Structure 1
Amino acid sequence: MPWKLSLRAKFLRAIVPYVLFAVVLAFSYVEFSARRSAEVRLTSKLDRMSEIQARVVADSLWNIANEQTKLILQALATDPDLVAAGVWDDTEQLIASVGDIERIGDFPHVRNTIISFDLNGNTLNIGRMVIALRDAQLAANTRSRMLVAIGLAVLLVGTIIATTLFAHRVTIGRPLEQLLASINASRKDGAYHPVAWNSRDEMGEVTAAFNEMQQKKQADEKSLRKARDELEARVEERTREVADANRKMTEAIESISEGFSLYDSDDRLVLCNSTYRKVYHSQNELEPGTPFKVILREAVNAGVIEDAIGIEDAWIAERIEKRRNASAPMIQRLRNGQWVQLSERRTDDGGIVAIYSDITRLKVATEAAEAANEAKSTFLATMSHEIRTPMNGIIGMCNLLQDTELSSEQVEFAQTIARSADDLLSVINDILDYSRVEAGKLELEEEPFSLRQCVEDALDLVSVQAASKDLELAYLLNTGTPATLIGDATRLRQVLINLLGNAVKFTERGEVTLWVASHFDDENRHCELEITVCDTGIGISDDKISRLFKSFSQVDGSTTRRYGGSGLGLAITRRLISLMGGSIEVESTLGRGSTFRISLNLPVGPDLREAALDDVRPELENKRVLIVDDNATNRRILTLQTSAWSMQPHAVETPKEALDLQDEGQVFDLGILDMHMPEMDGLDLANALRRGPTATMPLILLSSLGRMASEDDDRREAAGFAAILSKPIKPSPLLNAMVEVFCDQPTRVRPDRDADKSKFDRGLAQRYPLRILLVDDHPTNQRLAQMVLSRLGDLLP
């Protein structure tokens, strides 16, 4: 045990060194001052003595009275402080001396004084006198003072220590002793022992705080004992409740039909019910604390799990890995023919809760449903094929019928039959595609294709229907979109036809537009596409959008009655987009129209640019173009497209604005006019422009397909259009027409006036004399093929 110093000793150890230091410092200063004063007095005495004796000795030395000089020095020797003295003449011959003249230079107090003699007013140096004094008396005085100082220091230090100890005893020692006695007494009997010390200082405050602390401690201990008693009672009650809850929980777990197990964070069994034990083990094999891996290994070794037989180690490794993730449910087949669905979830503390559900009946029912669905898909595919065979005959014979001489009423009947057959064939195709998707037999191709061609083909198929309803049909493909992509062009075209067809079907007035935005990732050689189809149709309310992509479902029954359809188009569209790895979204406002947005990420094909459209054409550069169209979308598309070709477009909404520009003297190199505008059609506007300064300006007319009346032929000829293009506006024919205009080449773009001609090329047999082998098991198809070949110039099979 280390030596323990008392508080009094520590107090003295802290104070005494400082007291001693202060006393030594004070007496040292006094001694230094006294010694300094004594040395000053001795030096002053030496100076006076040397000066006086030099004058006294001068006459004797001048008169060569050496005896007298010796007597003078002997008289000096009576001074107790004198050590030695000597007189030398001007030849440095010693005349007289007293004391230890040989060591006179070794003493500290020495004066060498020149002896001068005054001869007739002239001062002559006739010798020198050396006097040395000693400090013997000074040393004796110093020793006496040191003895006195030591005595006084001892007395002073002793007084201070005694006073300090007394003060410590009175102010600190006694109250501390009382505090210690109180603490020891409290330790012994645990009772309250107050300290009776009422001084008005810090110790008084300490003792008062100690007394208060003891009182509070006594009260706290009393409260603590009471709280402890209450806590013990509550713990006993809660223990009973926990035991009751555990019993109820165990009964509840045991009562559920599913197997239940709980494992801790170390994957050791905490609890499970009998159903879980029955799934893999006997009643007594599973004990809390058993690792899951051991339980799994025993079950596999026992051959309980059918799926693991023959691949035990690999199956266990895969099962453990899936358990670490504990996400999607797993299905296991047991040896007894039972199917079990296992759902595992992590708890907050890292454990695992597992539910084992017997899904044998569900599995059997699911397999039966899948078999029924497969049978349904097979039936639909078979029936679709069987229906398409006679439909093929109907459509083919209808086309042959329209190629014969018919009255106007018969032509209308034949056209009605053809449209009805096309609609029926579209429904059949939807059913066939849906059955393929449901059966998982629809596979996508991966071939390079032109996105622009795919979009334009889809637009061509709906353009006639859009024109029949006086709808504006427009599209824009963003500049920079790769020319070729890799994917299934047929299915993408089908998606676009479905969306555009629906947009045209459900829009009575306004416009249908298709926008293609793209972002090309040069590093990964992929292109992100965003295809948007917008219409100004009837729209869809928010509460019915969720039904939009469901099979055999439309927004409401009135939609089917008014517009027709099978309700499969959008369902198939979403499935196809999903197969392509994309997504489809819809935004709609009831009464204002809908917007469908498709997002796709497709690989890029070998051609990134469309040279014919993307290259700068010097013949078009800086040409001023006047665009007149009452549709804002068409104006925007034409403006963007011509700007991309380095032209300078100026777009106006009405013919009046165009004529105002003419009156202002504005000159344009080319005019692009819309045929159908509210105030004045394109033909009248062309004639008006021909009467002004722009009479020689080349004009291009834009008209919806099928809306060019034959009675307007003369007016078109009179207007002298350089080209007539059909809507939707396509970049290729527009660029072709403008190049021909500015290169003075005859235009090759003219409206389609061949609708009344025969659909069959009767000279084909003469140009290609072929022998054709026709193989078809259906008589109608055989007859149809023979008749079509005969119309092509007697090409007989």
Structure 2
Amino acid sequence: MSREHLAIETFNEAADHILDLLSRLLQLNTLFIAVNDGSTNHIIRAFNRGERLVEAGTLLPLPEAYCSLVPNRRGGLVVIPSTRSHASASAMAVTDALGDRSFVGVPIRLADGTLYGTLCAMDEPGYPVSSWELRTLNSMSVFLSYTIDLEREHERERRRGERQKLRRQQAELRLKRLRERHRTAQAKLAQSSDLLAMLSHEIRNSLNGTIGMTDLMQQSGTTEEQDVYLRFMEDSNRNLLQLLDNILDYSKLNEGEVSLEAFPIDLLSVVEDSVFLFASQALAKRLELLIDAEEELPLLYGDAGKIRQVLLNLLSNAVKFTETGSITVQIRSQRLPQQPGRLRVSLSVSDTGSGMTEEELEQLFHKYSRPHEGKRKQEVGTGLGLYISRQLAERMEGSLRASSVPGRGSVFTFEMMLRAEPTPLVQLNHAPVAGKRALLLDGSEELRRIVGKQLEQWGVAVTGCAEPEEAMRALAAEGRFDVLLADESFASSQAMTSLVERASDCGLPLVLMAPLGGARPAASGLEPRTMLVKPIRRFFLIHALTTAFEEGAAARST
């Protein structure tokens, strides 16, 4: 017989085996196993050696069965030598049916203490049951208890496995449905994206035409009232273009289609180009646009388009919410010793605008958030620009954060990680200006600080003045200068005229600084050596100084 056939796997198999074993070991006439549910006694297995006292399948009310006399406790058993003489057994109907018998009963108790049934034996009255026979019956009842517990545990495991299998099947079905829905959604999304891209392209073409016609109308000689209408149209067109860009960017971010490029970039040129785009808007509001850059920036690798996009968004908000004062873009970088070849670059846009409260700052970078709404008469946008900008900054391993003081302005700081070459970019040749002295006249203290710092880095000694009278005193007190850098806004003043005449007598060349589109040298009567456009770019600054020095030297030699 194989090992598999020797294994006992069920309670019924164990019951049959135990009765067969006990019939061989003991000489008792009748052996049986009964189970009860608390009200009915059910004999499930029976063995009769001679006289058939018990039959398998017999059902009796539990109080009418001898099994009810078996004590429900561990190690408990009952031995009745004569059922006729026993106080409880003698009154049962089963005693009248079977006659006087001897009875032995052992409880079958489960591991949790509940009574499952009984293992019993019967014979002629007065049968001398030995202690060995009682121990054998008790041992077999314990074995049956273990068998029942094991079978129940197997049943629980089987049901648990079936439930897990059912859950897996249900999960697989749900996953299959989700995948089908995802494929359907992706297909619809692709169609929507294509439609959105096509529509935005067509709308942008129309808007660009409208913007071009608006610019032409502004140059064609209009009334003051018409100028107001045209400026409103221009602002509306720009807002629509920005809205289109934000919608497309938001769609790409959600679809995970935004990827970053890593091409060589001149970060200073990117910043200068971006700032110049807002020169006309700043001029209309008489705002000063300033760039405060470090002396040297290496060749960097990054996504110039994404950097420009974030910076343009910050500049647009700064111009939009600043009525007076200035807007400064500061460029700073930090080398990381633990990451050679990498540079943490910071672009900060600070303004002197309306500022924000703590509550407004908390909402600032949320989708569709417009904390400034109500501070301007025009619509302030969708509230997606800063959200998209922060997402882009984080994809560049950086951050975008803001600080603000109500009524005093805000500072937005855009940080990113960029790969840097160990050698710097080809730098401007500032040897021709080194060792010169410049008289700088401008009403903006911030501009005097930034331009003065740049000139000093090139070896130019700078004296800054806020008013023409102050510049006149500096010219008289400090002796010879090599160039006069003056803001065009002073051109119409008598003091400026006197200053320029005195400078001309000294052979001092004049470089006139004026906002892009705002220079009026002919109307003022000034004749500068060269014009320097604001916002001031480094290349233009050194070129203007070099030209002025050369022309000034030529004029003095003649």
Query: TM-score, length-normalised on structure 2?
Result: 0.63
The one-letter code sitting in structure 2 at the alignment partner of 1:729 is: I
How far residue 450 of structure 1 moved from its aligned partner, in angstroms, is: 0.9
Q: Distance in 1 between matches of 2:372 and 2:478?
A: 57
Shift of 1:663: 3.2
Q: Does 1:283 align with 2:195?
A: no
Tell me, yes or no, if the aligned pair for 1:674 and 1:701 is still in contact at 8 Å: yes
Contact 2:437 2:482 in 1 (8 A): yes
CA contact (8 A) 2:512 2:530 kept: yes
Aligned to 2:212: 399
Q: Which amino acid aligns with 2:288?
A: E
Residue 323 of structure 2 aligns to a residue whose secondary structure is: coil
Do the aligned residues in 2 keep the contact of 1:377 with 1:439 (CA within 8 Å)? Answer: no
Residue 437 of structure 2 corresponds to residue 624 of structure 1: yes
Give the count of matched residue pairs. Answer: 397
**CA drift at 1:491:** 0.8
Q: 1:529·1:599 contact (CA, 8 Å) conserved in 2?
A: yes
Q: Aligned partners of 1:452 and 1:401: how far apart in 2?
A: 31
> Which amino acid letter does the alignment assign opposite residue 316 of structure 2?
G
- C-alpha contact (below 8 Å) 2:475/2:481 kept by paired residues: no
Give the whole-Å Cα distance in 2 for the aligned partners of 1:438 and 1:481: 34
CA distance in 2, matches of 1:561, 1:362: 50
Structure-to-structure mapping, 1:164-175, within 5 angstroms = none
Q: Where in structure 1 are there 5+ consecutive unaligned residues?
A: 1-280, 287-297, 307-333, 340-359, 748-797
Change beyond 3 A, Cα 1:550–1:561: farther
The answer to whether the Cα contact below 8 Å between 2:370 and 2:380 also exists between their aligned partners in 1 is no
SS at match of 1:553: coil
For 2:313, the equivalent position in structure 1 comes to: 498
Q: Which amino acid aligns with 2:384?
A: L
Of 168, 171, 174 in structure 2, the residue corresponding to residue 335 of structure 1 is 168
1:713 pairs with 522, 528, 536, which one? 522
DSSP 3-state at the match of 1:456: helix
* CA contact 2:530–2:547 (8 Å) conserved in 1: no
Give the direction of change, closer, same or farther, for the CA distance of 1:639–1:479 in structure 2 (3 Å limit): same
Judge conservation of contact 2:366–2:387 (CA < 8 Å) in 1.
Answer: yes
2:550 is the counterpart of 1:739: no
The residue aligned with 2:98 is: none
CA offset digits 1:611-633 (Å, max 9, x no partner): 22xx441x212211111122121
* 8 Å Cα contact 2:321/2:354 also seen in 1: yes
Q: Structure 1 CA distance, aligned partners of 2:356 and 2:176?
A: 39
1:408 aligns with 2:222: yes
- Using a 3 Å threshold, how does the CA distance of structure 1 residues 616 and 501 change in structure 2: closer, same or farther? same
Pick closer, same or farther for the CA change 1:742–1:546 going to 2, 3 Å.
same
Question: Which residue pairs with 1:554 in the alignment?
Answer: 370
The structure number with the bigger radius of gyration is 1
Aligned mates of 1:469, 1:421 — CA distance in 2:
18
Q: Could you say which residue in structure 2 is the equivalent of 1:433? A: 249
Q: Which amino acid letter does the alignment assign opposite residue 363 of structure 2?
A: R
1:732-784 CA distances to partner (integer Å, 9 max, x unpaired)?
1000111122233999xxxxxxxxxxxxxxxxxxxxxxxxxxxxxxxxxxxxx
> Secondary structure in 2 aligned to 1:283?
helix
1:99-156 Cα distance to aligned partner (Å, 9 max, x none): xxxxxxxxxxxxxxxxxxxxxxxxxxxxxxxxxxxxxxxxxxxxxxxxxxxxxxxxxx
Structure 1 residues 451 and 684, CA gap change in structure 2 (3 angstroms): farther
Whether the 8 Å CA contact 1:668–1:694 is kept in 2: the answer is no
Change (3 A) 1:510 1:714: closer
For the pair 1:667 / 2:500, whether they are aligned, the reply is no
Q: Distance in 1 between matches of 2:501 and 2:216?
A: 45
Deviations for 1:463-505, whole angstroms, at most 9, x for unmatched residues? Answer: 11111111111011111321x2111101100100000110110
2:353 to 537, 545, 548: 537
Indicate the SS of the match to 1:627. strand
Bigger helix share: 1
Higher relative CO (CA 8 A, sep ≥ 6), structure 1 or 2? 2
Instruction: Look up the match of 2:54.
Output: none
SS of the residue corresponding to residue 170 of structure 2 reads coil
* 1:574 and 2:401 matched: no
Quote how far apart the aligned CAs of 1:720 are.
2.2
Residue 319 of structure 2 aligns with an amino acid whose one-letter code is V
Per the alignment, residue 512 of structure 2 pairs with 701
C-alpha RMSD of matched pairs (Å): 3.8
Instruction: State the alpha-carbon separation in 1 of the partners of residues 312 and 486 from structure 2.
Output: 28
In structure 2, distance between residues paired with 1:665 and 1:383 = 65
Cα shift at 1:586: 0.9
Task: Check whether the contact 1:377–1:438 (CA below 8 A) recurs between aligned residues.
Answer: no
8 Å Cα contact 2:442/2:486 also seen in 1? yes
Change (3 A) 1:630 1:381: farther
Matched, 1:595 2:411: yes
Matches within 5 A, 1:458-473: 458-473=274-289
Instruction: Name the % identity.
Output: 28
1:520 deviates by 3.4
The residue type equivalent to 2:455 in the other structure is T
Q: Note the C-alpha offset of 1:365.
A: 8.3
Q: SS of the counterpart of 1:513? A: strand
Deviation at 1:521? Answer: 4.9
Is the Cα–Cα contact under 8 Å of residues 481 and 519 in structure 1 kept in the other structure? no
Question: Partner of 2:300 in structure 1?
Answer: 485
Q: Distance in 2 between matches of 1:511 and 1:567?
A: 24
Which residue in 2 is equivalent to 1:450? 266
Which residue number in structure 2 is paired with residue 642 of structure 1? 455
CA distance in structure 2 between the partners assigned to 1:370 and 1:541 by the alignment: 45
- The code of the aligned residue for 2:499 comes to L
Distance 1:433 1:670 in 2: 48
Q: C-alpha displacement at 1:563, in angstroms?
A: 5.0
For the residue of structure 1 that corresponds to 2:286, the secondary structure is coil
Show CA shifts across 1:622-675 (max 9, x none): 211111122121011111100111111111222222122123253211111122
Counterparts of 1:570 and 1:661 in 2: how far apart (Å)? 46
Q: Which amino acid aligns with 2:192?
A: F
Q: How many angstroms apart in 1 are the aligned matches of 2:424 and 2:206?
A: 43
Q: Does the CA-based 8 Å contact 1:740-1:746 persist in structure 2? A: no
Mark the CA change 1:714 to 1:560 in structure 2 (over 3 Å): closer, same or farther: closer
